Amino acid sequence: QASPSKRSFQLDYEHNCFLKDGVPFRYISGSIHYARVPRPAWRDRLIKMYMSGLSAVQVYVPWNYHEMLPGVYDFAGNRDVEAFLDLTAELGLLVILRPGPYICAEWEMGGLPAWLLWKPDIILRTSDPAFLAAVDSWLHVLLPKIKPRLYQHGGNIISVQVENEYGSYYACDYGYLRHLLGSFRALLGNEVLLFTTDSTGVEELRCGTLQGLYATIDFGPGSNATEAFDAQRHVEPKGPLVNSEYYTGWLDYWGEVHASTSAAWVARGLEDILQLGASVNMQSSFLQLTSLPWPGADYKDQYKPVTTSYDYDAPLSEAGDPTEKLFAIRTVISKFQPLPVGPMPPATPKYAYGWVALQKYADLLNVLDVLCPSGPIQSQFPLTFEAIKQAHGFVLYRTQLPRDIPDPATLSAPPHSICDRSYVMLQKEYQGMLERDGQITLRVTGKAGDTLDMLLENMGRISFGANISDFKGLLGNVSLDYSPLSNWLIYPLAIDTAVQQGWPHAAMPKSSSRGRAGPAFYTGIFETPGIAWDTFVKFPGWSKGQLWINGFNLGRYWTERGPQQTLFVPGSVLHVGRPNNITVLELERAPLSPLLLFLDRPLFNRTLGRNISATQ
């Protein structure tokens, strides 16, 4: 191995390849998101990737995961990106780093912090001075952690991506890309290889590329590899061919059938790429769960929130298990380079802990003192989440009916102003639900002075689409028979904080109605039989809500809409020898017998699949 002073990773425009320490080099890489894998499982997943024959891993850094409030940084525990990078080096894997600032990744707001929207007129991903100031502040914290880990400095990071698929964004702001290029060069030096990634469209490559950043492309197994790389050659006539996102699967949206892509199709496409001498990164190949609040959403003519699971029909499953697809990929890789000696590590053990009975703890409206200890904010008209500096989760909006309504009147909101779902209660009785790009009216009756509550849920900010300034809450006035309602009390709810601190298990039981409709908390306990193995929770008869085990937010279930029917529970969150506390927030309607079922395998719409169209 070359000494640090001689280590180099460069472009060879004469021979159309990379040069690693002066020797022609081609990488075969796979994506892994450390933010989606519990830290105790990092080593297991990386070893499986190494044993698959990969020479590198591609790693996103989500800005909002580390700077959840302006100037407040968290790099501890699961967020210790330096420890993760050091582990990749220990295991002999090179790294292609994707630090954004925008990353997409089906992650909340594409990795951009929600607090950017506290300035409501900010123009994201442009040379808007407010956006650039926030970006520069972040890069000055992150990139000094990266610089000593660059290949040239003795580390294992061979290249760094600037932005992500910028050509798919409407702004096409070259000044912004030039600013990023200057910042990355100033903080990382002139030797590191900086690159961009875009789809193969002419317009995308026009707006997403910049002189001084090596342009790479992305495409899936449905594309003709030769034609796709011809598109790269239009912007990079010389240099290595690179597919930075070869799609081995696809994401799931709530309400659509689980995506699946055949192993044979993926393997054939990979072989075509490698036969052309190209370098490749298999996108989202080696992933796991996304705990809340991090799943994002796409905007494709309508708002499409992404499921909790990021299983992606990937070569390594949500639980980190090798699949048929992984072995098909490994076989293809073996035709082009030697595989590591030794067996592939086995699947992690799973356990079906069986049925667990829950009991209703309290209706959400009866525990506002716990969930909003600072009390409500008063406002003439509704305020957004961002206006009250609430990033994620839920906000309750409360007002009173201004008059008697003996005959049904229409409660309504303007189009696109419910962001993203509203659970409506009148005098604490559940009335129904309003939804973004869906139902925006309800018929109600009541008396003057009756309390109207609207619980607003953030289902994930848009991570890919025309504009990712995705404000949450009530974005417009709510009307009763077209007369705007006013005088609101607005409760920002800190549910996660309360549950992480032991509530409601550490609290006295609340007397509660036996009703099953509307937002309510349910609790239960179970013990493991001396083991803490991975498991999957099914929600028979439940509608939609969230699950916590031992204070850890395991994400959103939506049994009625699917396709995801189970939530993955990593064994690392379970206790052995003492009870495991379960907390469920059901938002719509609980079953007559509130039971959960722990299984040893996942259910995605009962494993129905769909093949991905060639355009993806």
pLDDT over 80 at 616, yes or no = no
Specify whether the CB–CB gap between 276 and 217 falls below 8 A.
Answer: no
**What proportion of the chain, given as a percentage, has pLDDT over 70?**
95
Show which residues are catalytic: 165, 245
Q: Spell out the residues 6+ positions from residue 182 whose beta carbon is closer than 8 angstroms to its own.
A: none
In 3D, which of 68, 79, 27 has the Cα closest to residue 240?
A: 27
What is the rounded average pLDDT of the residues 411-424?
Answer: 95
CA–CA gap between residue 61 and residue 143 (Å, rounded) = 11
534: which strand partners?
350
pLDDT over 50 at 141, yes or no = yes
Token pair in block for residue 287: 């992933």
CA–CA gap between residue 554 and residue 556 (Å, rounded) = 7
pLDDT over 70 at 181, yes or no = yes
CA–CA gap between residue 286 and residue 28 (Å, rounded) = 14
Tell me the average pLDDT of the chain.
Answer: 93
User: What band does 312 get if pLDDT is binned at 50, 70 and 90?
Assistant: confident
Specify whether the CB–CB gap between 30 and 58 falls below 8 A.
Answer: yes
User: What band does 257 get if pLDDT is binned at 50, 70 and 90?
Assistant: confident
In 3D, which of 573, 580, 565 has the Cα closest to residue 523?
A: 580
- Name the residue type at position 394: F
Lowest mean pLDDT among 199-203, 363-367, 425-429, 506-510: 506-510
Q: What percent of the residues of the chain are helix, what percent strand, and what percent coil, each to the nearest 5?
A: 25, 30, 45
Specify whether the CB–CB gap between 252 and 304 falls below 8 A.
Answer: no
* Burial bucket for residue 448 (CB in 10 Å: 0-12, 13-18, 19+): exposed
247: which strand partners?
283
What distance separates the 2 farthest-apart alpha carbons in the chain?
83
Provide the CB-side half-sphere exposure for 232 (13 A, CA). 26
User: What is the 3-class SS of 473-525, one letter each residue?
Assistant: EECCCCEECCEECCCEEEEECCHHHHHHCCCCCCCCCCCCCCCCECCEEEEEE
With the C-alpha atoms ordered 193, 197, 201, 204, is the resulting torsion angle positive or negative?
A: negative
Q: Spell out the residues 6+ positions from residue 84 whose beta carbon is closer than 8 angstroms to its own.
A: 34, 42, 59
Q: Are strands 259-260 and 610-611 parallel, antiparallel or unpaired?
A: parallel
How is residue 166 annotated by DSSP? G
pLDDT of residue 78: 95
Residue with tokens 């809500």: 545
User: What band does 605 get if pLDDT is binned at 50, 70 and 90?
Assistant: low
* Helix or strand (DSSP H, E) at 263: helix 263-275
* Spacing of C-alpha 580 from chain mean position: 26
What domains can you pick out in the chain, each with its CATH number? 9-335 (3.20.20.80), 354-362+496-599 (2.60.120.260), 374-493 (2.60.120.260)
Lowest mean pLDDT among 2-16, 321-335, 357-371: 2-16
Q: Residue 446: phi, psi to the nearest 5?
A: 175, -175
How is residue 561 annotated by DSSP? T
pLDDT over 50 at 541, yes or no = yes
Question: At 387, is the secondary structure helix, strand, or coil?
Answer: helix
How is residue 541 annotated by DSSP? T
Q: Residue 336: phi, psi to the nearest 5?
A: -115, -20
Question: At 224, is the secondary structure helix, strand, or coil?
Answer: coil
Specify whether the CB–CB gap between 94 and 55 falls below 8 A.
Answer: yes
Helices (H), 113-224: 129-146, 174-188, 202-208
With the C-alpha atoms ordered 235, 238, 239, 242, is the resulting torsion angle positive or negative?
A: positive
- Name the residue type at position 614: A
CA–CA gap between residue 433 and residue 452 (Å, rounded) = 13
Specify whether the CB–CB gap between 484 and 477 falls below 8 A.
Answer: yes
pTM: 0.94
What is the rounded average pLDDT of the residues 275-286?
Answer: 88
pLDDT of residue 365: 97
* Burial bucket for residue 67 (CB in 10 Å: 0-12, 13-18, 19+): buried
In 3D, which of 445, 562, 455 has the Cα closest to residue 518?
A: 455
pLDDT over 70 at 606, yes or no = no
Q: Residue 421: phi, psi to the nearest 5?
A: -140, 145
Token pair in block for residue 278: 């190209």
CA–CA gap between residue 62 and residue 475 (Å, rounded) = 27
293 or 259, greater pLDDT:
259
Q: Spell out the residues 6+ positions from residue 338 whose beta carbon is closer than 8 angstroms to its own.
A: none
474: which strand partners?
418
pLDDT of residue 614: 29
pLDDT tens by residue, 67-109: 999 999 999 999 999 999 999 999 999 999 999 999 998 899 9
CA–CA gap between residue 220 and residue 239 (Å, rounded) = 21
